Amino acid sequence: MNQICQGVGEEKEENKKKKKGNGESSRRSDSSAGSIVGSPGLPSSSSSRMKVFVVLAVLVAVASAQLSDPLAQPTPYSFSYNSNTEDGGSSGHQESGDGSGRVTGSYTVTDLEGHNRVVDYIADENGFRATVRTNEPGTANLNSADVTMESTGDDGGIAAAYSGSLSANAYAGTYPAAAPAPAVASGRPGVRYVLVPVTDPRARGYY
């Protein structure tokens, strides 16, 4: 009887040792698995996704830089047009640029009565310069402010005025001298009134 009890006790003790051994093995397995998952040497899924995102962002930036156009460079150009106006006249314009900043062109205007104006111009590093050719009345051959006026129309005395042949004093001599006016009594001492003809330029603004 004692031998049976002793055998049963030894069996129980052996089972306990087996269970204990199995528990330690299980804990070691869990510990190993945890070290593998948390190991810094192996990348996690979140860090992998971040790296992929950064790579894609760099590729998109490079592609955008390649597709963007550089700053526009000056290029040669030219245009022209002609049209008829409602009053029976006409107008036209043509211009061209060489791409380096030099521009040349001209425009024309012709009215119903046949008066014509042609303006040729140049714009470059020396500024803007123009030559005007016209047969319009009231114009004269002049050259001022880098604009040359070539006129074949009736200048109406404009050329003489601009040439300086008529001075400011010459205008005064074209009017008759004012006749001396009789003295007029005045209640204010030291004040004398003079009658001036309407045609005298000194009377402007008073009539």
Q: Give me the amino acid identity at 129.
A: R
pTM: 0.41
What b/e readout covers 177-206, taking b as 16+ CB neighbours within 10 angstroms? eeeeeeeeeeeeeeeeeeeeeeeeeeeeee
pLDDT tens for each residue of the chain, 207 residues long: 444 445 545 666 666 666 665 555 555 555 554 444 444 454 556 777 777 777 788 777 766 665 555 677 778 999 999 999 888 889 999 999 998 889 999 999 998 888 899 999 999 999 999 999 998 888 777 777 767 777 777 666 555 555 554 444 444 455 556 666 555 555 555 556 666 666 776 666 555
